[in-house]
Chains A and B, each alone.
Chain A
Amino acid sequence: MNEMVFESVVDISSVQKIAQKFVSNIEKVIIGKKDAIEMILISLLCEGHILLEDVPGLGKTLLAKAVTRTLNCDFKRIQCTPDLLPSDVTGIYFFNQSTSEFEFRPGPAITNILLVDEINRALPRTQSCLLECMQERQISVDIETVDLPRPFMIIATQNPIDMEGTFPLPEAQLDRFLMRISLGHPTREEEFNILTRFVNIDPLEKLESIVDADQVITLKNAVKDVKLDNSVRQYIIDLCFALREHKEVKMGPSPRASLGLQAASQVRAAIKGRDYVLPDDVKALALAILSHRIILDTSVRLKGKTEQSIVEEVLNSVTVPD
């Protein structure tokens, strides 16, 4: 771990340095997805959860693994299958015959970074057991409630194409994800680099850690000092209200969305080396934060419009503060 970088973490420029190091470290494995990596970092510093949604084979799981390797934190993984039970996630009380007592065996949810792979393949009841830990950072098993270690972040992946044997995430769960991002296919040059880099060795093995859990908490506290002008705050509200009042939107984003957008904007400003938020930060994050939180009318879907296109439409109509 690079101790030199972390000397003065409260300073915004130090946040920027760490962010650059974080991104460049993951870019050793994931090629050409700088924006997605930044989004994950933003999500981490907001302590929000992230949903990676894309077709198979684009490196969702690899990205999640690279992130966990870069962070020197406790990491667990759940491979979601239709027979996965809630107790497999949260943990169980079992009777220890040697001690003749019930003991708690923690599930994989009790960790810093939880990779939930193919989340939409889990049964709804298993998905539901994540609701508590995602929002309240705790799990309740039997009569006991266990606080989760901080920072706690879920990186979930899902395949939007494959519908057989899957269970779409409920709105309550989607709303708990700070961002939904997709990686997209690489360009020709990027794919060439991927093929070259993965010939003999797995770069994931040589990935070094940049920050640990405590440092992430310190960074998270540091970015709270980033200034947010009231006009920018008002702009966030305008965006949310424009979506709520949009005639083609059945359900608009919740206040949790605007809170998330505000916090994420502050983090983005910090990792760009600024101690103030610009409307550009809000705009850059709005699509990832708002698009999965709105529900469109069926008639609108039939017209070929998507959540992303509606959010883009709103972004291109709401007045930006001068």
Chain B
Amino acid sequence: MNSKTTLQRFILTGMQLCWIYVIFSVISTKWFHGSLMFFPLIIGFLGSLGLSVLLLKKVNSKTYRYLVIVFVGAFYLMMLLNISWDIWMDIFYTTGEWVVLRRPLQILGQYSEELAKICMGTSLWVMGWWQVKTQIDLKRLFVEFQFGFGALLIVFLLEPYLKIHVMNSFLIVCGFFILALCGLVISKMIENHESGIGISGNTRLIYSVFSVVSIFCLAGIIFLAVNPKLIELFFSLVAYIKAQFLYFMDFLVRLFPHKMQTVSIAGWLQEEAEVVNDISISTRYMRGVWRLIYVAVFGGLCLSVLWHMSRMFLGFLNRKYTSGTQINHESLPGAFKADLIRAFRQFYQHLTKLSIKIIRFIYKFIFSYCFFSGPDSIRKIYLKMLKWSSKKGFKRQNYQTQYEHINQLIYKFPQTRSSLLYLTGLYTKQRYGNIGPSTQEEDQMRYVWRGLKKIKLRTKKKGAKK
């Protein structure tokens, strides 16, 4: 790995940390009514500031640099507005000359949080795009998108059911159970590694997946095991820090005492309530869509960070458990991520296959009776039969008649004789005699076809004893 790649990887990791920040903010807004907002904002502010400086130094493309500057700058502006909105509003009101801008500012304040996320997200995407273009191909981007979308689906589907306090005990037990299982698997792997058996491709994959699962479990257990009162205490502490910050800002405002007479916080709050009521359905919908998109991406990159963490964890385990041995261990980092990507890809492929199967099931048993009865039904089944036979290695050749084709199959698999003859007979009757199957024949045809698919095709081995 050369220095440039190292830097790019570092940037990617930093970006992913930023995603974590944003997803935290979303979660806090959603579940904790914003009380946790201050903490991730501060982390995000500091982290992204340093990161941005690094980025701006290293991004060679002028276009990307410009875009990054614009979006990151907008993000900081929005974030500042969001943190100290009350104070800024006080300042605007006390000057008295900003009345014209009051309404736009109110709207800006209303959406400052969302805008901040959008700006930050966009800037990160710009940087991510640059990174993808310079180092990784589009497949990687696609994979990240997939993960993001999956995470989004999970969050949105489980959100109404995630009653943390109710589910605490159950989830903790489950988490410990999975963690124990993971620990067993990992320890077994390490044992194999130490004993010189080595780690095969499949083993490595299992190793990787279980490691990630164990990290998730560990994080979940820690989170769930904490007493809700402690969480409240933590929030109180955060609120206290935030209040201190606001008092400080208030102190700054009070440096101009002659302006304080016109400040009316209560009145502004009432107007804000009206503004909230004015939000149209389309605006809310748009906000939902934005949230949907960004949460998807945030989720994906959050997973990426977890991979990095898992990788570190694995490195730690390797160092911890294998330091005493003289065995040269194969390096896992590169393969680790590839394994996980492959595993997730397979998972998605299976999901896709499952969904296709479900659709086919519905298509077959609900709509087939409505739309595919009559002459067309036997043709469809015959085509399926052709597909089935070609899978068995008996593809129908162009010069073969229907019966010549099935005779081949019958010769090889005599147990299919009656089914094949029945279906082919119906098909040829419809095809060349224009005589469609009757209702009874259709039912029988479906029954025969299902039976044919279930027949286990085993040929007799040559020289096998009877």
Is the Cβ of A316 less than 8 Å from the Cβ of B403? Answer: no
Is the Cβ of A280 less than 8 Å from the Cβ of B401? Answer: yes
Given that A276-B429, A278-B428 are known contacts, is A227 also in contact with B434, CB under 8 Å in the complex?
Answer: yes
B256 within 8 A of A: no
Q: Which of B399, B429, B433, B434 contacts A320 (CB 8 A)?
A: B399
A117 within 8 A of B: no
**Chain A 268-289: CB-based contact to B (< 8 A → 1; otherwise 0):** 0000001111111001000000
A109 within 8 A of B: no
Is the Cβ of B432 less than 8 Å from the Cβ of A227? Answer: yes
Q: Which of B399, B401, B432 contacts A276 (CB 8 A)?
A: B432
Q: Which of B393-412 contact A (CB under 8 A)?
A: 398-404
A232 within 8 A of B: yes
Is the Cβ of A278 less than 8 Å from the Cβ of B401? Answer: yes
Is the Cβ of B432 less than 8 Å from the Cβ of A315? Answer: no
Which residues of the partner chain A approach B398 to less than 8 Å between Cβ atoms?
319-320
Complex CA gap A186/B435 in Å reads: 40
Interface size on B, residues (CB 8 A): 14
Complex CA gap A266/B429 in Å reads: 15
Is the Cβ of A318 less than 8 Å from the Cβ of B399? Answer: yes
- Which B-chain residue is minimally distant from A232 (CB atoms)? B432
Q: Which of B401, B434, B435 contacts A279 (CB 8 A)?
A: B401
Complex CA gap A320/B404 in Å reads: 11
Is the Cβ of B399 less than 8 Å from the Cβ of A319? Answer: yes
Which residues of the partner chain A approach B401 to less than 8 Å between Cβ atoms?
278-280, 283, 320
Given that A319-B398, A320-B398 are known contacts, is A278 also in contact with B434, CB under 8 Å in the complex?
Answer: no
- Which B-chain residue is minimally distant from A279 (CB atoms)? B401
Which residues of the partner chain B approach A277 to less than 8 Å between Cβ atoms?
432
Interface size on A, residues (CB 8 A): 19
- Which A-chain residue is minimally distant from B399 (CB atoms)? A316
Complex CA gap A279/B432 in Å reads: 9
- Which A-chain residue is minimally distant from B427 (CB atoms)? A322
A218 to chain B, nearest CB (A): 23
Is the Cβ of B399 less than 8 Å from the Cβ of A278? Answer: no
Q: Which of A227, A279, A319 contacts B433 (CB 8 A)?
A: A227
Is the Cβ of B399 less than 8 Å from the Cβ of A275? Answer: no
Is the Cβ of A278 less than 8 Å from the Cβ of B400? Answer: no
A229 within 8 A of B: yes
A299 within 8 A of B: no
Which residues of the partner chain A approach B403 to less than 8 Å between Cβ atoms?
278, 280
Complex CA gap A227/B432 in Å reads: 8
A91 to chain B, nearest CB (A): 46
Which residues of the partner chain A approach B434 to less than 8 Å between Cβ atoms?
227, 229, 276
Most buried by B among A315, A316, A318, A320: A320
Is the Cβ of B433 less than 8 Å from the Cβ of A274? Answer: yes
A27 to chain B, nearest CB (A): 24
A99 within 8 A of B: no
- Which A-chain residue is minimally distant from B430 (CB atoms)? A276
**Chain B 411-443: CB-based contact to A (< 8 A → 1; otherwise 0):** 000000000000000001101111100000000
- Which B-chain residue is minimally distant from A229 (CB atoms)? B432
A67 to chain B, nearest CB (A): 28
Which residues of the partner chain B approach A275 to less than 8 Å between Cβ atoms?
433
Is the Cβ of B400 less than 8 Å from the Cβ of A320? Answer: yes
Most buried by A among B399, B404, B428, B429: B399
A265 to chain B, nearest CB (A): 11
Q: Which of A207-234 contact B (CB under 8 A)?
A: 227, 229, 231-232
**Chain B 112-136: CB-based contact to A (< 8 A → 1; otherwise 0):** 0000000000000000000000000
A241 to chain B, nearest CB (A): 15
Complex CA gap A315/B397 in Å reads: 12
- 6 nearest CB pairs, A to B: A276-B433, A319-B398, A279-B401, A276-B432, A280-B401, A229-B432
**What are 5 residue pairs bridging A and B, where the CB atoms are less than 8 Å apart in the complex?**
A227-B434, A276-B434, A276-B435, A278-B432, A280-B403
Besides A275-B433, A278-B402, 13 new A-B residue pairs in contact (Cβ under 8 A), listed by A number: A227-B432, A227-B433, A276-B429, A276-B434, A278-B428, A278-B432, A279-B401, A279-B432, A280-B401, A283-B401, A316-B399, A320-B398, A320-B401
